[in-house]
Amino acid sequence: MGFNGTSPLLDQRGELRPEDFGAIRELSMNPIGDRIISAFFSPGKETVDFASFVRILAHFHPTETSRSRDGVQPEPANSRTRKLKFAFQLYDQDRDGKISREELLQVLRTMLEMQVTEEQLQSIAERAIQEADLDQDDAISFDEFRKSLEKVDIDHKMSIRFLS
């Protein structure tokens, strides 16, 4: 059900609205579904056009390792850093460049879906911040985020084989 299938009104408008995303059934079951949806929309805007849609999805294109690196070209959308940045922004809802304890707690709450107590959440969040927070500001910055995921194969994990 790609872009063209998400909305019967598409041909007319060429744009998507949040409701169109909401029509995807599996997405509504996804714990972070609404975060994903809101990631498509730039702050303040209510619609997303095809170009922006594709730009977001381009983050998930498999990374090409053979690409030569000349610092002149802007970093491709599907590079590891950009992928991580995209994920980071999903955590960081207020876009202050850091994942605060409260934001982390929110994410944990939605992922764990009422199956745990508040204290457990607190202790998990506490521990996570302890582990990752290197500069002791009680929040996880993007670099700390990236560092804590350095062992995970992001290129593999955040790639979908399509558009190839």
Partner 1 sequence: MPSRTGSHSPAGTGKSLPERGLLLLMVLVLLEGSVLPLGAASSPDISHQKNVDNHKVEHEKNYTKKAFPVLDLDYHHIQTPFEISLWVLLASVMKLGFHMIPRLPGIVPESCLLITVGLLVGGLIKLAGEKVPPVLDSQLFFLCLLPPIILDAGYFLPIRPFMENLGTILMFAVVGTLWNAFFIGGLLYAVCQIQPANPSELHQLEILPCLLFGSIISAVDPVAVLAVFEEIHINELLHILVFGESLLNDAVTVVLYHLFEEYSAAGTVTVLDGFLGIISFLVVSLGGILVGAIYGILTAFTSRFTSHTRVIEPLFVFVYSYMAYLSAEMFHLSGIMALIACGAVMRPYVEANISHKSHTTIKYFLKMWSSVSETLIFIFLGVATVDGPHHWNWTFVTVTVILCLVSRVIGVVGLTCVINKFRIVKLTTKDQFIVAYGGMRGAIAFSLGFLLKKEQFPMREMFLTAIITVIFFTVFVQGMTIKPLVELLAVKKKQEAKRSINEEIHTQFLDHLLTGIEDICGHYGHHHWKDKLNRFNKKYVKKCLIAGERSKEPQLIAFYHKMEMKQAIDLVESGGGVNLPSAVPSTVSMQNIQPKKPPPAKPVEKALPKMTKGREEEIRQILRSNLQKTRQRLRSYNRHTLVADPYEDGFSELLIKKQKMIELEKKIQHMNNYLTVPAAPPDSPTMCRARLASDPQAYSSKPAADRVPTIQVDLASPQSPDSVNLMDEFRRADQQEEDQGLMMKPPSGQSGPNRPREEDRGREQQKMTRCLSDPGPSADEEEEDEPFLP
**Tokens linked to 18:** 């949040």
CB of 115 to partner 1, least distance (A): 5
**Beta-carbon contacts of residue 39 (< 8 Å; ≥ 6 apart):** 56, 86, 89, 90
Q: Which residue has the tokens 């202050």?
A: 96
Three-class DSSP category at 99: strand
CB nearer partner 1, residue 31 or residue 97 = 31
H/E segment holding residue 132? helix 118-132
Mask of contacts with partner 1, 7-36, x by CB under 8 A? Answer: --------------x--x-xx-xxxxx--x
Under rule CB under 8 A, which residues in 83-142 are in contact with partner 1? 87, 90-91, 104, 107-108, 111-113, 115-117, 119-120, 122-124, 126-128, 130-132, 134, 136, 138
**Tokens linked to 23:** 């029509």
State which amino acid sits at residue 158: M
Which residues contact partner 1 by CB under 8 A? Answer: 1-2, 5-6, 21, 24, 26-27, 29-33, 36, 57, 60, 62, 65, 87, 90-91, 104, 107-108, 111-113, 115-117, 119-120, 122-124, 126-128, 130-132, 134, 136, 138, 145, 148-149, 151-153, 155-162
